[in-house]
Amino acid sequence: MTGKKRTSKIKSMMKYFSEQLLAPDSSEFTKENADLRKRLRAFVNQANENQRKLILFESLEIEIIQFDSFVNLLYLLTEKYRNVFSLDVVTIALIDTNQEIRSILNDDGVDINKLDKIIFLENNDFFASFFKNGEKPYFGQIDNKARKVLFPSSGGNPSSVALIPLVRHNKLIGSLNLRSYDISRFVYGGVSDFIEHFGAVASVCLENAVLFGQVQRSSMTDALTGIKNRRFLDEKLPIVLSNAMHSDDAISFCLLDIDRFKTVNDTYGHATGDLVLKQVAKTISSAIEPSFLFARFGGEEFAIAFTRKSLSDTKLIAESIRKKIEETNIMDSSGEPIRLTVSIGVKHISSNDIKNENSHINFIFKAADDALYRAKENGRNGVEIDNDDSCQQ
């Protein structure tokens, strides 16, 4: 066979085999090739999906790092996370042994009872069965008892969950809880790199929010009595006035002064005077509602502000406080009782009379102070109401 014929035959054979290889389902090779292409497409799609998730995670991380308030951070970690990743429910469980987190939120004017996506736990015992491997998330299903703790406001539909431990300095501070009604969404052994990273970022942000809240609380707390101070009142009262103005609520302001407190200090010493201040603060705290603003105004003066009470209700509240303090028993070093009384000046005003928040605060202070002065002049141990009829509605 000549070289020319041999070359022609080889080309014919190559053409035949090429046609056989490229023909659909014509050989095992073609089938394997199709399988490889299918797997490659799946890998590419997964890579694209991972890239999409990464972009979403990074965008949300930037938002939570730049949070402007504790309650905003909680919103981003629950509602925003739920919307971005198409989840059915997202909650946060926070270990709050001494109720400090709840106190911080309360100081920010947050109604804890309305935070249905935030769960407060007294300790970390609940998580013992979920986080057995340290900081690894839990994927899978949970029983009804656990569901009622972590997802109290959602139903008992079949679902899968991802519980992400929130850890700082090797200490569990809570969990970010994701729930999907797709039972295959979160399964045991699932990939958790993105979720673990996000949990670490969320942990840092939550810790920072708590630390900032602690500093704020400390700066607005009276060191002696443990109640709020004048700075707290100056910051929060404009907010209360603004809310009253927009919701058409009345507002009441009471200024209290311990009668003859200088005499107590001069007679029994400053240590006893401090004891009197602490006892008066404790007595007032027990006589008012948790929603009331209550602060040490300065020296032996205390201030209380509250809304949604009529003038007659305000009088009853002030009189109840006066009576409770009068009935308080404090003993001197020799066991003799020290008689305590307070004089109270009251200003009650409706939202219809609020024209300018800042100037009106000064007006309220002065009106209550004038009423307090009259209570002193009238023999102390009494309650006087500001006599400006135009504001007493």
Orientation angle between helical segments 357-377 and 230-247, nearest 10 degrees = 110
248 touches 266 (CB < 8 A): no
Pairing of strands 342-349, 337-338: unpaired
**Assigned token pair, 181:** 């009604």
Query: Active-site residue 61, yes or no?
Result: no
**Assigned token pair, 176:** 């970010």
Cα–Cα dist 64/164, whole Å: 16
- Residue 294's closest CA among 309, 286, 304? 304
Catalytic residue, from 58, 300, 301, 326: name it.
300
- Residue 264's closest CA among 328, 315, 308? 328
Q: Which residues pair with 306 in a beta bridge?
A: 252
Burial 157-179 (b: 16+ CB within 10 A, else e): eebbbbbbbbbeeeebbbbbbbb
- Helix, strand and coil percent figures for the chain, each rounded to 5: 55, 20, 30
300 touches 263 (CB < 8 A): no
Q: What are phi and psi of 159, to 5 degrees?
A: -160, 165
Cα–Cα dist 209/232, whole Å: 19
**Assigned token pair, 123:** 């300790």
CA angle 257, 258, 262 (to 5 degrees): 115
- Residue 89's closest CA among 64, 114, 117? 117
**Assigned token pair, 330:** 């404090």
- Burial bucket for residue 222 (CB in 10 Å: 0-12, 13-18, 19+): buried
Cα–Cα dist 256/263, whole Å: 17
Active-site residues, by number, are 300
